[in-house]
C-alpha cells in the first residue's frame, strides 16, 4: 500500500537522525553552530514559496490551486513582517545574527545552496503528483518540530522563547499540509509506475534535506 511505503521510506531517509540534528536536540551545539544552522536554513526557507509557485504553475485545476495557494502566503506573509520567513528572521536576531545579513544570503555555504536549488529543480522537472509527493517530508515534520522546540527551550535558554514562533506554528501547519498533499497523491498516483515515482520523489527530497545538514556540519562542525 502506498501509504505504508511512503511512511517506511520517509522514516528510513528523513533527516531527523542526522548527527547534526541529534547534536542540536541534545544541546551539544555551541552558539556559532546554532547560528550557522539558522543562517543557512533560511536559504531553504526562501526556496519553499518558490517551489510552491512552481507546483501551482503545473496545475490546470483551480480547486487544487486554491488549496495549495495558502502555502505561499504562509511563508511570504499576507503583508510585510508576517509569515514564516519573517518569523525565521526574528529567530535569526534572537540567536545573535543580523537579519539583514541573513536575508542577503551572502554567507550561505555552497553545499546548502546546491541542495536547496536541487529541490527547486526537482519540483520544476517532475510531474505535478511527484512534486506534491516530494513535499511529504511534512508528514514527519510535526514530531521533529515538537522535539526541536522542547530541545531549544531546554538547552538554549539564551534564545528568547518568543522567537521560536516558527517552530510552534509549523507543528499544526505541517500536519494539515501533509494531509492535503497525501490526499492529492492518493487520488492521482493511480498506477504502479506513478506510485514508484512518488516514493522516489519523497526519498530524493529526504536526501536533499540530509545533504543540507552535511554541508552545515562540514562548515561549522557539530555533526560528529
Cα separation of the two ends of the chain: 36
> pLDDT tens digit string along 10-40?
888 989 899 999 999 999 999 999 999 999 9
Please report the pLDDT score of residue 183 as a whole number.
93
> pLDDT tens digit string along 154-206?
999 999 999 998 888 877 888 899 899 999 999 999 999 999 999 999 999 99
List of residues 6+ apart from 166 with CB closer than 8 A: 84, 87, 88, 91
In a domain, 208, yes or no: yes
Share of the chain above pLDDT 70, in %: 99
Distance between CA atoms of 212 and 37, rounded to whole angstroms? 10
Cβ atoms 65, 133 nearer than 8 A = no
Please report the pLDDT score of residue 221 as a whole number.
93
The mean pLDDT of 73-95, rounded to a whole number, is 92
In a domain, 175, yes or no: yes
In a domain, 27, yes or no: yes
In a domain, 224, yes or no: no
The mean pLDDT of 92-118, rounded to a whole number, is 97
Distance between CA atoms of 185 and 76, rounded to whole angstroms? 25
In a domain, 6, yes or no: yes
Cβ atoms 170, 162 nearer than 8 A = no
**DSSP 3-state of 205:** helix
pLDDT higher than 80, residue 223: no
Domain that holds residue 74: 2-219
Q: Number of folded domains in the chain? A: 1
Compute the CA torsion angle 73, 77, 79, 82 (nearest 10 deg).
160
Distance between CA atoms of 201 and 69, rounded to whole angstroms? 21
Helix, strand, coil fractions of the chain, as percent rounded to 5: 80, 0, 20
Q: What is the CATH number of the domain that holds 96?
A: 1.20.910.10
Share of the chain above pLDDT 90, in %: 75
Please report the pLDDT score of residue 224 as a whole number.
66
Least confident of 10-19, 50-59, 82-91: 10-19
Please report the pLDDT score of residue 99 as a whole number.
97
Please report the pLDDT score of residue 43 as a whole number.
98
Amino acid at each position: 500500500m502506498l501509504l505504508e511505503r511512503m511512511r517506511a521510506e520517509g522514516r528510513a531517509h528523513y533527516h531527523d537522525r542526522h548527527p547534526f540534528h541529534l547534536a542540536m536536540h541534545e544541546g551539544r551545539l555551541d552558539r556559532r553552530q546554532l547560528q550557522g544552522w539558522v543562517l543557512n536554513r533560511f536559504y531553504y526557507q526562501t526556496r519553499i514559496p518558490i517551489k510552491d509557485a512552481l507546483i501551482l504553475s503545473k496545475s490546470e485545476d483551480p480547486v487544487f490551486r486554491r488549496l495549495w495557494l495558502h502555502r505561499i502566503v504562509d511563508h511570504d506573509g499576507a503583508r510585510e513582517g508576517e509569515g514564516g520567513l519573517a518569523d525565521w528572521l526574528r529567530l535569526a536576531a534572537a540567536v545573535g545574527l543580523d537579519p539583514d545579513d541573513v536575508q542577503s544570503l551572502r554567507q550561505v555555504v555552497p553545499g546548502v545552496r546546491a541542495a536547496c536549488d536541487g529541490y527547486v529543480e526537482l519540483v520544476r522537472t517532475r510531474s505535478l503528483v511527484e512534486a506534491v509527493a516530494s513535499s511529504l517530508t511534512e508528514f514527519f515534520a510535526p514530531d521533529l518540530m515538537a522535539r526541536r522546540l522542547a530541545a531549544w527551550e531546554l538547552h538554549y535558554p539564551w534564545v528568547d522563547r518568543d522567537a521560536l514562533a516558527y517552530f510552534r506554528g509549523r507543528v499544526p501547519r505541517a500536519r494539515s499540509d501533509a494531509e492535503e498533499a497525501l490526499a492529492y497523491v492518493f487520488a492521482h498516483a493511480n498506477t504502479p509506475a506513478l506510485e514508484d515515482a512518488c516514493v522516489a520523489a519523497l526519498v530524493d527530497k529526504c536526501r536533499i534535506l540530509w545533504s543540507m545538514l552535511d554541508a552545515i556540519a562540514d562548515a561549522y562542525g557539530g555533526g560528529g
